[in-house]
Amino acid sequence: MSVLDAPHFHDEEAAFAKLESIVWPNGPVCPHCGALDRIYPLNGVRSKASKKNPEGIVRHGLKKCGHCRKQFTCRVGTVFESSHLPLHKWFQVAHLMCSSKKGVSSHQLHRNLQVSYECAWFASHRLREAMRSGALAPMGGAGSSGVTEVDSTYIGRKKGIAKQRGTAHKHAVLSLVERGGEVRSVHVENEKASTVVPIVNANIAREARVMTDDALQFENKLDDYAEHGVVNHSAKEYVSRADPTVHTNTVEGYFSIFKRGMKGVYQHCSEKHLHRYLAEFDFRYNARSALGVEDEARTEKALRGIKGKRLTYRVTDRSEPSA
Ligand SMILES: [Zn+2]
């Protein structure tokens, strides 16, 4: 049996039941007044043709709150609200995005799922929003490996700047990876110490060992940490000879997945949306198999993130047709 045979990928009723179990693990919650009880189903047999519903359209997952008398489904107050995409197709999009290590393009979603390209583009951006974590706990502290690697890379091309030698025409990305743990990536304006050091300080516990390459912006700037290990990339040293635990190979490995995905799958990405692609790659890395999270659990984790987030931009805001 294929994983795609599961009923929630095909049947709308099953898709609602599945999403409810994910976003309401302890039973339904009224999104209007927060009530946890006196919530009644209105779907199925009750929605037969009536004055209010003359065509007898079945509204899956529809509920009514006995406290505020308002109606809702589990889509209300999530990134799925005000989307016309059937819920079972949302499950297909989420599964494809969460099970493909380098992502899946909107063109491919458009062809495979038989939805319009615009719809596929919006659906994937809404799911990227769901994947955004906003984690604030310091990295590399107690209970972790205690080692965090920091490095930056360049991707894409800035609008209106010609391709040139060096990196001035590209977008800079700073990533912090806890060995054996999670990654946090940020799109940064530049690589100056005044830009990147505060980000490092805001995200890494002082008791951590921090590893960087010999980039000048970090020189003497990370002395407050338990250790600032430096690997001398400009001398082609990739693991410190003095201490083999000093290297940035973990963050380099993360960049290699990110770049292969961005170049191979997404190809173009405007600056405005770069943070969303970073959220997607960070999310998959932080819910990777090596941490015991497999495809289905990863998809459910992404879907738990749909709550309380909205995307407000419209089709006309799409500055360039990408991915
Ligand atoms: Zn209510």
How far is it, in rounded angstroms, from Cα 186 to Cα 206? 20
> Could you tell me the residue ranges of all domains in the chain?
147-286
Length of the chain measured in residues: 323
Mean pLDDT, the chain, integer: 90
Give me ligand 1 centre to Cα 170, in Å: 49
Give me ligand 1 centre to Cα 307, in Å: 17
Give me ligand 1 centre to Cα 15, in Å: 23
Give me ligand 1 centre to Cα 13, in Å: 23
Lowest mean pLDDT among 51-60, 134-143, 296-305: 51-60
* H/E run at residue 152: strand 147-155
295-304 and 87-99 are packed helices; what angle lies between their axes, rounded to 10 degrees?
120
3-state secondary structure of 25: coil
Give me ligand 1 centre to Cα 59, in Å: 18
Largest CA distance in the chain: 80
DSSP secondary structure letter of residue 102: T
CB 93 within 8 A of CB 123: yes
How far is it, in rounded angstroms, from Cα 107 to Cα 50? 41
List, for residues 146-164, the tens digit of each pLDDT value. 999 999 999 988 887 777 7
Give me ligand 1 centre to Cα 48, in Å: 24
List, for residues 179-217, the tens digit of each pLDDT value. 999 999 999 999 999 999 999 999 999 999 999 999 999
Give me ligand 1 centre to Cα 29, in Å: 8
Architecture in CATH for domain 147-286? 2-Layer Sandwich (3.30)
Q: Model confidence at 75, in pLDDT bands (50, 70, 90)?
A: very high
The per-residue pLDDT for 156 is 85
User: Hey, what's the torsion of the CAs at 61, 66, 70, 75, to 10 degrees?
Assistant: -30
**149 HSE (CA, 13 A, CB side):** 22
H helix runs in the chain, sequence order: 12-23, 87-99, 106-113, 117-131, 193-203, 249-261, 271-286, 295-304
List, for residues 119-128, the tens digit of each pLDDT value. 999 999 999 9
* H/E run at residue 227: strand 227-231
Q: Token pair for residue 133?
A: 């974590």
The per-residue pLDDT for 104 is 96
Closest by Cα among 279, 96, 264, 304 to 182: 279
Give me ligand 1 centre to Cα 90, in Å: 26
pLDDT at residue 37 above 90?
A: yes
Better-scored residue on pLDDT, 310 or 229:
229
Q: How far is CA 55 from CA 58, 112, 209, 262, in A?
A: 9, 31, 65, 46
The per-residue pLDDT for 51 is 66
Give me ligand 1 centre to Cα 78, in Å: 16
3-state secondary structure of 103: coil
pLDDT at residue 289 above 70?
A: yes
Q: Model confidence at 316, in pLDDT bands (50, 70, 90)?
A: very low
Give me ligand 1 centre to Cα 74, in Å: 13
Kindly give the pairing relationship between strand 183-188 and strand 209-213. Answer: unpaired
Better-scored residue on pLDDT, 168 or 26:
26
Q: Is the pTM of this model over 0.75?
A: yes
